[in-house]
Amino acid sequence: MAPLWLARPAAAGEPALRLLLFNGLSSNPRKAEAVAWLADAGADLVVVQEVDADWAAALAAMPGHAVIESAPRQDNFGMTLLVRHDASNMVVRTWREDLIPGVPALAAELAVGGRRIAVLAVHTLPPVGHDQAGRRDAQLARAAAWVGEQRAAGRVPVVVGDLNASPFSAPFRGLLAAGLVDSQRGFGLQASWPVGHPLPPVAIDHCLHDPALVTAARALGPALGSDHLPVRCDLAWPPGQAP
């Protein structure tokens, strides 16, 4: 854990993108309160996971934001992407990526400061048992391949989501080996799950980015009725390298 605490955060230049990730829990009884907090967080792009029909309806009415891609489901793998109204001109396109059959991931290409940033929102399967662990690992491996594809197309890749993997696990390190930076580095271990459980929490909600960006700030949000805490990550261009 030492690098997470002892590494000095990289110097940040011109702001690029504020991301907000929240695994909202399908059965969350405090959806209205959570939506109000998400709306006030000032994020350019909001990723909400475990979105069912009720969550989708609540998010569609989120003040100051517009849904740009949504895939609600009856299980725990629905997802919605929202953009702040005055940042909507950044959105070039959105699309769905099936990293493994039957489990959606959502992606958006954004024009930021004269460059293209591609954001992939992923919710992997929990590694409960050998089969699901293997499918989780396949999702992370496919995400790593996606990173290479975006670079080859001239885009700056970012991967965000509940990856159901700690920063110290081998599958997570394999994703970092694709050339991504863990946004926790220099900001300490930000353990986001499980909320309200007697066991120590684990950091499984992540934002990983290309070295062309730096993490200007990273913080966990409050408990909002889910078993996960929200994660806010401010990305910036390195000093003197803003497009």
Reported as a single tens digit per residue, the pLDDT across 130-185 is: 999 999 999 999 999 999 999 999 999 999 999 999 999 999 999 999 999 999 99
Q: DSSP letters of 9-34?
A: PPP--SEEEEEEEEE--TT-TTHHHH
Residue 243 in any domain: the answer is no
CATH number for the domain spanning 200: value is 3.60.10.10
The pTM (predicted TM-score) of the whole model is 0.96
For residue 144, the model assigns a pLDDT of 97
The whole domain housing 196 covers 2-236
pLDDT band at 209 (very low <50, low <70, confident <90, very high): very high
Torsion of CA 188, 208, 159, 61, to 10 degrees: 40
Summarize pLDDT for 98-116 with one digit per residue, the tens.
999 989 999 999 999 999 9
Q: How many domains does the chain have?
A: 1
Residue 242 in any domain: the answer is no
- Whether the per-residue pLDDT at 242 is higher than 60: the answer is no
